[in-house]
Amino acid sequence: MTKPSPAGRHAAQSTTAGAVLALAILAALASACVPGFSETQETHGSAAPVEAGTTVPVAPEPSTTVRDCSPRDPADNLVVDTAAPVLLSVEISRSLYGCADEIGLAFANDSEAILTLAARGIHGPLLLMESWSDAEPMTEIRRLAPERIVAAGFNEQDLEQRLAGFAVEWLPVNPEAALPHRDVRYERVWIVDSAEQAAVLGAVGRQIDATAMTAVGDLRALAPREREMLREAARVELHADLGLDAAWQLEVIRRGDELPGGGLLLFEPERARRLVAMYGHPSTSQLGVLGEQDPSEGVVRLRSIAAGYDADGSDVLLAFEVIATVASARAGRDGDYSNETALDEIRPWIEVAAANDMYVVLDLQSGRTDFLTQAKQYEEFLRLPHVGLALDPEWRLGADQVHLRQIGTVDAAEINEVVHWLADLVRAEALPQKLLILHQFRFSMITNRELIETPAELAVLVHMDGQGPIATKFSTWDALTGEPDAYRFYWGWKNFYDEDSPTPTAEQVLGLTPSPLYVSYQ
């Protein structure tokens, strides 16, 4: 062999004299591809084992048979059941190749060498090994009987000993090597723990239109291009330790429904978003500004209302907060002191919001019945990706109470019933994260607030919806957000046109701490 460069990183050179090389290649071809060769009768996918530490043998008999080492169609004979780099490389090789004119060879833990080979381009399989004692890749080399082995990251003496009789091309390792860009749909994607593992698997898997990627934490927070890659792939496999939630989060991505404005999480750390809403009932202007116009006119007006709320760099998402059940002075036929709005009366607001890339919140003033009972009446809408829910404890009555004689109250236990049901709905429908608002302007309105659950399926937000002098409202905000459990929730603020004195400006609202992520107008 020609003397290589130092430090085990070798410039491309050939080995053996011409006559010896010809005999070695022809002999190897005979053992792998000539019918009736008797020394090791091999079939596709299996071969006689090679003992650890031995040289790959060269068959003694030459042959002039012309062989076709073109890869098979991956769809015809592809069995890939592992994301372990060494076994994966062998399985892909067995599935695609009966023989090989050229193979790439590197150690599985040498990502720079692997990427160097991938960047060069190999006209055959890329095989990896943990060490020279790995039987699987050594056996596969013997089966393929390559005319040339392109190696990177090896010691010259090891190659001379282990691959005696083969033509070997050494590649100098390029630390800057990377996979060539491919803007195509991948047939399969592996999600793995580390960037190095992703690079290795991506290099090995390119022959079967496969790639690998990493993820940390919530899969729904992946970048848009990564989510698109996972949606388009025919098959996605999780090989990363991302917790029990990863499987359903992947299902959310694969289904493809996103929030208005894009994304699967309402409030991502890397992407500031604020909802600005009009509050009220569709049939009357007495309960808020929403009922002062039809849905299409409401869109136009809301754009004007939301002006200035992007001053801190946040994306503004417009929203309708529709009072779905209205507190009533009368018990009604069901005795709950709450009038349920028909679905068909709310539906136009749902549809116009969807058409304009807006969000909708359904607000419940449940009277003497529990919030979950009323929420289930609007399940049809809550199955949509752009519809959330609000609970208003001010109008939650005890068994012998009536409205306007006291401020209502609800315990965390009842709220958690809604939390569990709504979170289950999000999972069952593979929906993006759903907003759950809890109205509060007095401590007594929510008892045991610290026990409210905040699962990943929901963005649970406490909405300070008190009215009055601006100084009083600011004091209430400071009190509610100053509680030890405040960090567990997102926070929202309500402005009243007629009852506040004066109505706070967008600049004043944005000056609050924590910054309100939901601002409504009534």
* Nearby residues of 227 by Cβ (< 8 Å), 6 or more positions away: 253, 264
Arithmetic mean of pLDDT, 225-235: 94
Q: Is residue 324's pLDDT more than 80? A: yes
3 domain residue, yes or no: no
Please indicate, yes or no, whether residues 282 and 250 belong to a single structural domain of this protein.
no
402 pLDDT band (50/70/90 cuts)? confident
What integer pLDDT is reported at residue 494 of this predicted model? 97
51 pLDDT band (50/70/90 cuts)? very low
Q: Residue 319: phi, psi to the nearest 5? A: -145, 150
Please indicate, yes or no, whether residues 375 and 504 belong to a single structural domain of this protein.
yes
Please indicate, yes or no, whether residues 217 and 280 belong to a single structural domain of this protein.
no
What integer pLDDT is reported at residue 148 of this predicted model? 94
* Nearby residues of 286 by Cβ (< 8 Å), 6 or more positions away: none
65 pLDDT band (50/70/90 cuts)? low
Please indicate, yes or no, whether residues 444 and 295 belong to a single structural domain of this protein.
yes
Tell me the longest C-alpha to C-alpha distance in the chain. Answer: 105
What integer pLDDT is reported at residue 409 of this predicted model? 95
Concatenate the DSSP letters of all residues of 172-191 into one string.
Answer: ---TT--PPP--S--SEEEE
What integer pLDDT is reported at residue 400 of this predicted model? 86
61 domain residue, yes or no: yes
Please indicate, yes or no, whether residues 129 and 219 belong to a single structural domain of this protein.
no
Q: Is residue 346's pLDDT more than 80? A: yes
Instruction: Return the amino acid letter for 261.
Output: G
Instruction: Return the amino acid letter for 443.
Output: F
What integer pLDDT is reported at residue 76 of this predicted model? 62
182 domain residue, yes or no: no
What integer pLDDT is reported at residue 160 of this predicted model? 81
Please indicate, yes or no, whether residues 238 and 294 belong to a single structural domain of this protein.
no
73 pLDDT band (50/70/90 cuts)? confident
CA dihedral (250, 254, 259, 263) positive or negative: positive
What integer pLDDT is reported at residue 404 of this predicted model? 78
75 pLDDT band (50/70/90 cuts)? low
Q: Is residue 57's pLDDT more than 60? A: no
322 domain residue, yes or no: yes
78 pLDDT band (50/70/90 cuts)? low
Q: Residue 69 in 3-state DSSP?
A: coil
Please indicate, yes or no, whether residues 379 and 496 belong to a single structural domain of this protein.
yes
**End-of-domain residue from the set 146, 171, 196:** 171
Q: Is residue 4's pLDDT more than 90? A: no
62-76, 310-324, 405-419, 508-522, range with the lowest pLDDT: 62-76
Concatenate the DSSP letters of all residues of 75-128 into one string.
Answer: TTS-------HHHHHHHHHHHH-SS-SEEEEEETT-HHHHHHHHHH--SS-EEE
Q: Is residue 463's pLDDT more than 60? A: yes
Please indicate, yes or no, whether residues 327 and 424 belong to a single structural domain of this protein.
yes
Concatenate the DSSP letters of all residues of 248-260 into one string.
Answer: HHHHHHHH----T
17 pLDDT band (50/70/90 cuts)? very low
Q: What angle do CA 418, 437, 255 make, to 5 degrees?
A: 70
41-50, 149-158, 197-206, 499-508, range with the lowest pLDDT: 41-50
**End-of-domain residue from the set 113, 141, 171:** 171
What is the Cα 377 distance to its own chain's centre? Answer: 31
What integer pLDDT is reported at residue 60 of this predicted model? 38
Please indicate, yes or no, whether residues 248 and 285 belong to a single structural domain of this protein.
no
Alpha-carbon separation of residue 120 from 42, 46, 123, 172, 306 (angstroms): 31, 29, 10, 11, 54
Cβ–Cβ < 8 Å for 47, 143: yes
57 domain residue, yes or no: yes
What integer pLDDT is reported at residue 81 of this predicted model? 67
Axis crossing angle, helix 195-205 with helix 111-120, rounded to the nearest 10: 30
224 domain residue, yes or no: yes
39 pLDDT band (50/70/90 cuts)? very low
Alpha-carbon separation of residue 137 from 61, 143, 153, 289, 435 (angstroms): 24, 10, 16, 71, 52
What is the Cα 316 distance to its own chain's centre? Answer: 23
CATH number of the domain bearing residue 464: 3.20.20
Condensed to tens digits (0 to 9), the pLDDT of residues 366-383 reads 999 999 999 999 999 999
Please indicate, yes or no, whether residues 393 and 512 belong to a single structural domain of this protein.
yes
For the chain, give the mean pLDDT.
86
Q: Is residue 1's pLDDT more than 50? A: no
Work out the burial of residue 483: count CB atoms within 10 Å of its CB; fewer than 13 is exposed, 13-18 middle, 19 or more buried.
middle
Structural domains of the chain, count: 3
46-60, 237-251, 417-431, range with the lowest pLDDT: 46-60
Please indicate, yes or no, whether residues 231 and 100 belong to a single structural domain of this protein.
no
501 pLDDT band (50/70/90 cuts)? confident
Higher pLDDT residue, 332 or 180?
332
Its domain, for residue 350, covers 273-521
Arithmetic mean of pLDDT, 401-426: 94
Q: Is residue 386's pLDDT more than 80? A: yes
SS3 assignment for 354-385: HHCCCEEEEEECCECCCHHHHHHCCHHHHCCC
Q: Is residue 231's pLDDT more than 80? A: yes
Q: Is residue 7's pLDDT more than 50? A: no
396 pLDDT band (50/70/90 cuts)? very high
111 domain residue, yes or no: yes
329 pLDDT band (50/70/90 cuts)? confident
Condensed to tens digits (0 to 9), the pLDDT of residues 106-132 reads 999 999 999 999 999 999 999 999 999
CA distance 54 to 34: 24
What are the beta bridge partners of residue 250?
none
Arithmetic mean of pLDDT, 415-441: 98
Alpha-carbon separation of residue 46 from 91, 102, 106, 204, 514 (angstroms): 10, 19, 21, 20, 64
- Tokens in use for 162? 């282990």
- pLDDT above 70 covers a percentage of the chain that reads 86
CA distance 511 to 195: 40
CA distance 522 to 516: 16
Cβ–Cβ < 8 Å for 218, 240: no
- pLDDT above 90 covers a percentage of the chain that reads 69
DSSP state letter for 205: H
404 domain residue, yes or no: yes
Please indicate, yes or no, whether residues 196 and 345 belong to a single structural domain of this protein.
no
Reported pTM: 0.81
